[in-house]
Amino acid sequence: MLVYILRRLILGISVLAAAITTTFIIFFLGPNDPAGALCGDKCTPERLESITKSLGLDKPVTEQFTQYAKGLVVGTETEVRKCDAPCFGWSYFQNRPVRDIVFEALPVTASLVAGGAIAYTTIALIFGVLAARQRATWVDRVIVGGSQLLGSIPYFVICLLFFLYVMVFWELVPRSSWTPLTDNPWKWFTGLLGVWIFFGVVQSTGYIRYVRASMIDTQGQDYVRTARSKGLTERTIATKHSLRAAIAPVVTLVGLNVAGEMSGTVITESIFGLPGMGRSAILAFQNGDLPVISGVVLVGCTFVVVINLIVDLLYGVVDPRVKLS
């Protein structure tokens, strides 16, 4: 087990190193001018030269990359500004470290994704198991048909409809807002409740069918027939035997989905007005603020690596047939 964890950690570190290198090449060595993008159309030559020197773009490429990588580990400090580790660079549009911008948006996205993941996993397990146990009945057809219908609607359309009608016009759920958990837990919960409900219902559509198919597949396994021969009830077999084996592939999908959502909740945050990482990346893109975009990318890559490691370790806990070695 320890050897497996160490191998996965080494692989994760190598992936992060590759992501750091690729991000540096794309955003700072690509066919663009970071200093010119930050300075704007009415930039004076003196201002452009100052930003170029501040970003270290006048130095050799190897020195630029060394300084960039060093800032991620120990931070950077000059005569006029200080950026603590991990230093993703400096935003001249907001005149503060990118680290502060990303870490202010991170709790918003993390709260949205974590609550939504709990919601759609719970909904998928409940209705997926119900559809499998009621296979070929009207209950099964309604659940599967409803999930297919909801999943066929474009995400941004149903997101707008939910926000306008359910939140604004009908006021069935509290309107979305952001309050830090440490400031007021109740406002934090109510401000995200409607988004969690929407996110859970919409994202669960594919998982419901996947759980149903996995449950049906496990019904014919030998250990399930053995459990039936012992006189166990169908509910016990479904919850303690079939579901535990069927949930293992679902864990992988949820893990990959959560990792992607950490850096991809652009539409959700924009429509519901949540100041998360996706919305910060869009604003940075509009302003040409490349350091902020690169910071969001690196944080997103980090979460992909960490969550995938957690998913791999959970396999041995969820599915007793899997042994990590």
Domains defined for the chain, CATH in brackets = 2-98 (no CATH), 100-318 (1.10.3720.10)
Which two three-digit tokens encode residue 180? 């830090």
pLDDT score for 258: 78
CA-based nearest residue to 198, from 160, 159, 168, 169? 159
More confident residue, 273 or 57: 273
Strands in the chain per DSSP E: 76-77, 82-83, 90-91, 96-97
pLDDT score for 309: 80
More confident residue, 272 or 44: 272
Mean pLDDT of 247-256: 73
Which two three-digit tokens encode residue 39? 């300075």
The answer to whether residue 79 scores a pLDDT higher than 70 is no
Write out pLDDT tens, residues 139-182: 889 998 988 888 888 888 888 999 999 998 898 998 999 999 88
pLDDT score for 215: 79
Bridge partners of 83? Answer: 76
Mean pLDDT of 278-291: 81
The answer to whether residue 203 scores a pLDDT higher than 80 is yes
Mean pLDDT of 273-296: 83
**pLDDT-based confidence at 12, cuts 50/70/90?**
confident
Q: In whole angstroms, what separates CA 84 from the centre of its chain? A: 25
- How many whole angstroms separate alpha carbon 189 and alpha carbon 156? 23
More confident residue, 70 or 235: 70
Q: What is the 3-class SS of 6-70, one letter each residue?
A: HHHHHHHHHHHHHHHHHHHHHHHCCCCCHHHHHHCCCCCHHHHHHHHHHHCCCCCHHHHHHHHHH
- How many whole angstroms separate alpha carbon 16 and alpha carbon 35? 26
- How many whole angstroms separate alpha carbon 83 and alpha carbon 57? 17
pLDDT score for 291: 81
Q: What is the mean pLDDT of the chain?
A: 79
The answer to whether residue 295 scores a pLDDT higher than 70 is yes
The answer to whether residue 245 scores a pLDDT higher than 80 is no
Mean pLDDT of 291-313: 82
Q: Is the pTM above the cut of 0.85?
A: no
- How many whole angstroms separate alpha carbon 181 and alpha carbon 15? 32
The answer to whether residue 217 scores a pLDDT higher than 90 is no
Q: Of the spans 34-43, 160-169, 201-210, 277-286, which averages the highest pLDDT?
A: 160-169
The answer to whether residue 238 scores a pLDDT higher than 70 is no
pLDDT score for 193: 92
The answer to whether residue 298 scores a pLDDT higher than 80 is yes
pLDDT score for 31: 59
What is the helix (H) or strand (E) element at residue 96, kind and residue range? strand 96-97
More confident residue, 21 or 45: 21
What is the helix (H) or strand (E) element at residue 77, kind and residue range? strand 76-77
**pLDDT-based confidence at 189, cuts 50/70/90?**
very high
pLDDT score for 30: 62
- How many whole angstroms separate alpha carbon 92 and alpha carbon 80? 13
Mean pLDDT of 222-229: 70
Residue 122's CB: how many other CB atoms inside 10 A?
12
CA-based nearest residue to 254, from 107, 123, 105? 123
The answer to whether residue 127 scores a pLDDT higher than 80 is yes
pLDDT score for 80: 56
**pLDDT-based confidence at 190, cuts 50/70/90?**
very high
pLDDT score for 37: 60
The answer to whether residue 53 scores a pLDDT higher than 90 is no
Cβ–Cβ < 8 Å for 311, 21:
no
The answer to whether residue 109 scores a pLDDT higher than 60 is yes
